[in-house]
Structure 1
């Protein structure tokens, strides 16, 4: 029998590293909102401690440019999620997740479609793992669509992270996600933009499954 996580369970939402960076994942502790046959919905709370790959000088990888961001040396950084929280929905069988963003005043800003590999769960370890596919979409509240990071996908091909055929498939996945927006299927139609986290939920603790090579900032600084 398939098992699912109960609401309120703390899990790790992991973006695996690849190639020369295979041992440097992006690890985000999150709280399960809903988990069933339709997919996983989880909450990334403001102030959550997380691990992420950065350049050796501590800067975000994208500062290296759209090609070198995939080839430059990296280290892990223990950091904190800043800004408003994000609700993430990973629909079953889809190579993307849908992120819900709000402004500081609680106004819903829009949906971010993060193209990624379909998730693989480790129920015992309370971990769901995927791999980022670089290309993203932004869906405005009026349902208009903006493409994001197309230059980085091209850079990923140049750097050898993806083959041209793999990049074409990722673009095709983006078009499939847009079709889901056009027909307004789950999770878009589920009104998660009105959701608020229970007041009793606490911010998760720092990931313990990986030891960062660099702690560039103190937690809660």
Structure 2
């Protein structure tokens, strides 16, 4: 069991790439889950990608340059609600995507290192390493791999990439696919009607002091 978060508390998800941060995104904690972290962000939530100082993103930058260069936070906003489930010790998180009117429309399996929760004073977070390869699951439980070409291309540059075990990543994806095909949790309809607590405070709009704390 990791750090326990209070209901409605802001929790910052950080995607780490070697010693750098690739993304920070604020969520609200959904309390009451001992074997996982469950987080919510409404449509319109602002997070930060970390891009090159000249404005280039990862897709526009050769991987060796990307990994060796300092990067700066650039705000970005999501246009859908996200419920994000991070089971302890598993190589993925599962996200429920909701339209602004609250209608569920898709699952998204983010293949990633097992979540590590932390708290530093008033700041709370969850750290992982995004493994780039993902699985998209539709409401009828049809599925497809996502970003496979980019994943394979980056594996060919092991001195610059933060993924070093292709088989582990694909094994995690296959585990998710088997659950989806079986209609088993988390693809059994659980939380597809999720609604956040209306009394939760709004998420902050600025990066907090301490966002760059060591992993």
Please indicate the TM-score interval, normalised by the length of the shorter structure: 0.7 to 0.9
Q: What does 1:184-195 align with in structure 2 at a 5 Å threshold?
A: 184-189=183-188, 191-195=190-194
Q: What does 1:121-160 align with in structure 2 at a 5 Å threshold?
A: 121-124=117-120, 125-160=123-158
Displacement of 1:152 after TM fit? 1.2
Indicate the structure with greater helix content: 1
Contact 1:27 1:51 in 2 (8 A): yes
Indicate the structure with greater strand content: 2
Contact 2:25 2:48 in 1 (8 A): yes
RCO higher in 1 or 2 (8 Å CA, sep ≥ 6)?
1
* 1:82 match: 78
Distance 1:191 1:70, change over 3 A: farther
CA RMSD of aligned residues (A): 2.4
Q: Distance in 1 between matches of 2:190 and 2:2?
A: 26
Displacement of 1:97 after TM fit? 0.5
* 1:33 match: 30
Q: Which runs of 5 or more structure 2 residues have no equivalent in the other structure?
A: none
Q: Distance in 2 between matches of 1:35 and 1:96?
A: 20
Counterpart pick for 1:95 among 91, 96, 101: 91
Displacement of 1:179 after TM fit? 1.4
* 1:43 match: 40
Which stretch of the first structure deviates more once superposed, 137-146 or 39-48?
Answer: 39-48
Deviations 1:76-116 (A, max 9, x none): 22414231221111122211001111234433221000000
Displacement of 1:70 after TM fit? 6.0
* 1:198 match: 197
Q: What does 1:158-173 align with in structure 2 at a 5 Å threshold?
A: 158-160=156-158, 161=161, 166-173=165-172
Aligned to 2:37, what secondary structure does the other structure show? Answer: strand
* 1:219 match: none
Deviations 1:17-37 (A, max 9, x none): 21xxx2334111110013422
Q: Distance in 2 between matches of 1:86 and 1:159?
A: 32
Q: Distance in 2 between matches of 1:35 and 1:5?
A: 9
Contact 1:48 1:203 in 2 (8 A): no
